[in-house]
Structure 1
Amino acid sequence: MNQLTGVISDRGSKYAVSGGPVADRAEIEGFLKALKRDKKFAKATHNTWAALMSDGTPLKGDDGESGAGMVILRMLERANIRDHVIVVTRWYGGKHLGGDRFRHVQDCVRAYLDRFGD
């Protein structure tokens, strides 16, 4: 499991990004379960994720952060990264971020791809 913590901090909200190879939905569920074994991630407000499978099947989960999974998925499609899940974690800081939250999701995915991409 690859992980970057403390990627972004804005108005009290903190972000991290994690990812790793997956072959199917069951492996994605296993990845999320392993991530949440860390109490810090289990207590996060949102663990949004996406994966583009090798056959082109898009999978995503917003975990209450409506639209965030699609942001991650679009970035995976543009980078043509398949069979890899990326999870953006947010700990809500008490202030609404509006549209900035989507920019933060993009920035987290970009940081992940810069660090761990091919």
Structure 2
Amino acid sequence: MLVLENILSDRGSRYAVSGGACTSAEAAQGFLKDLKRRKKFAKATHNTWACLTDDAPLKNDDGESGAGMVILRMLEREDIRNHIIVVTRWYGGKHLGGDRFRHVQEAVRIYLDALMD
């Protein structure tokens, strides 16, 4: 599990990104359970994720409407299979509008760059 904390902030909202191997919906739930063992992540406003498995694409917005699809599209574009990416957001009190999608994309880019190093 690779976890990158405090990678972005905007108007009080803070972001982290994490990921690891994942081959099924059950594995995705297990990954999230492990991540949420860290109290900080359990208290996050959103843990949005996606995983492109050999069987089917999986995603969950966790209340951040449309964010799971943003992550999934980036995984498809990079052809990264059997790997989950979770973008975590702690809401800072101000709505970000469309900027939240830009932040999700940037978080995934940061993760992919770290993964390739």
Query: SS of the counterpart of 2:32?
Result: helix
- 1:72 alignment counterpart: 71
Matches within 5 A, 1:37-48: 37-48=37-48
Structure 1: which amino acid aligns with 2:110?
A
AA aligned to 1:35 is L
The code of the aligned residue for 1:71 comes to: V
Q: Which runs of 5+ in 1 are unaligned?
A: none
Determine the structure 2 residue equivalent to 1:58.
57
Any unmatched runs of 5+ in structure 2? none
Name segments (4+ residues, structure 1) moved above 4 Å. Answer: none
- Give the root-mean-square deviation of aligned CA atoms: 0.9
Other-structure match for 2:85: 86
TM-score, reference length from structure 1? 0.97
Please give the secondary structure, in 2, of the residue aligned with 1:50: strand
Shift in Å, 1:8: 0.3
| Distance apart, 1:117 and its partner CA | 3.2
Distance 2:40 2:59 in 1: 22
- How far is 1:12 from its partner? 0.2
**So what's the TM-score if we normalise by structure 2?**
0.98
